[in-house]
Amino acid sequence: MSDLKNKRVITACLCGSWPTRADNPAVPYTPAEIAEDAYECWQAGAAIVHVHAREADGSPSIRYELYEDIVNRIRAYKDCDVCINITSSGRECGPDEERIDPIVKLKPELCSYDAGTLNWQHRTIFENHPRFLEKLGLAIQEVNVKPEIEVFDAGMVYNTVYYMKKGILKAPCHYQIVLGAAGGMTNTVENLVYLKSILPEGSTWAACGIGAGHMPIMLATIAMGGHLRVGLEDNVYYHKGVLAESSAQLVARAKRLLEEAGLEAATPDEARQILGLTRKVF
């Protein structure tokens, strides 16, 4: 095993469900655009790409065919071994089976696992019913897909402790601390320190700040030993008032910041070792 202690995993979140081309014209919509962005992010230093699907008009979608197309296109880049993380959410989430289907059929290395329900950005309910979380946890164990557990507040961390006891989640888990989504905890370093302090021992973790909190949370995460997530899903700006050109531009900055701190961006294979991903898709 190579020396991994100075390696940090960068995840690129390409489009999510919310940002549109009105927010930033670089937001990818079609499977071809999403796959192209995934490839560019890998070239820029991302080890994982976190994937949502959109219909051609940009509306969020959980249609299986779109996910299949995106995954096939990413895997068709023969020199690219980036780890794929498929979301299990999506705006106005559909029936449980539709959310789980792309994951169990396409078997990415990772999938997101949002460990609770919250009011989302003062607009809607981001619903993750206990019934859904139980089904998803068991279904992905069967196909050996690792959950990337997204936590937006402390209660979600404690939910995962319960699910580990029940066998619905298998330790050690990998957490993504997401701060700054209205309805969840705000993006302060104090909140980051607190959430990190209550993660179960032996967990791996990353963090990201939504919008304006993007930079301070990234810098604090680097200092605290965590892994990083950047991309247009979380933040459409490069600087205040200056739109990002692409998710790859944000990945390149994250890689540079790691290097300035004497660290390195992990390759996909190093990320597989760090996160305990036992199955390599390629």
| 3-state secondary structure at position 83 | strand
HSE, CB side, 13 Å, CA atoms: give it for residue 222: 20
Looking at 80-88, 175-183, 196-204, 207-215, which segment touches Zn ion (CB under 5 A)? 80-88
**Shortest Cβ 136–Zn ion spacing (Å):** 15
**Shortest Cβ 16–Zn ion spacing (Å):** 5
The pattern of x and - marking residues 162 through 201 that bind Zn ion according to CB under 5 A reads ----------------------------------------
Token representation of residue 164: 């580990």
Looking at 39-47, 57-65, 79-87, 124-132, which segment touches Zn ion (CB under 5 A)? 79-87
C-alpha–C-alpha distance, residues 232 and 211, integer Å: 9
Interacting residue with Zn ion among 61, 87, 159, 246 (CB under 5 A) = 87
**Shortest Cβ 53–Zn ion spacing (Å):** 11
168 versus 232: smaller Cβ distance to Zn ion: 232
Looking at 9-17, 93-101, 212-220, 246-254, which segment touches Zn ion (CB under 5 A)? 9-17
208 versus 220: smaller Cβ distance to Zn ion: 208
Cα-based angle 112, 114, 119 (whole degrees, multiple of 5)? 135
Residues 99-118 that bind Zn ion (CB under 5 A): none
**Shortest Cβ 50–Zn ion spacing (Å):** 5
H/E segment holding residue 268: helix 268-275
Task: Name residues whose C-beta falls within 8 Å of residue 95's C-beta, 6 or more positions apart in sequence.
Answer: none
40 versus 233: smaller Cβ distance to Zn ion: 233
C-alpha–C-alpha distance, residues 203 and 274, integer Å: 11
Burial class (CB in 10 A: 0-12, 13-18, 19+), 95: exposed
C-alpha–C-alpha distance, residues 151 and 66, integer Å: 26
Which residue ranges make up the site for Zn ion (CB under 5 A)? 16, 87
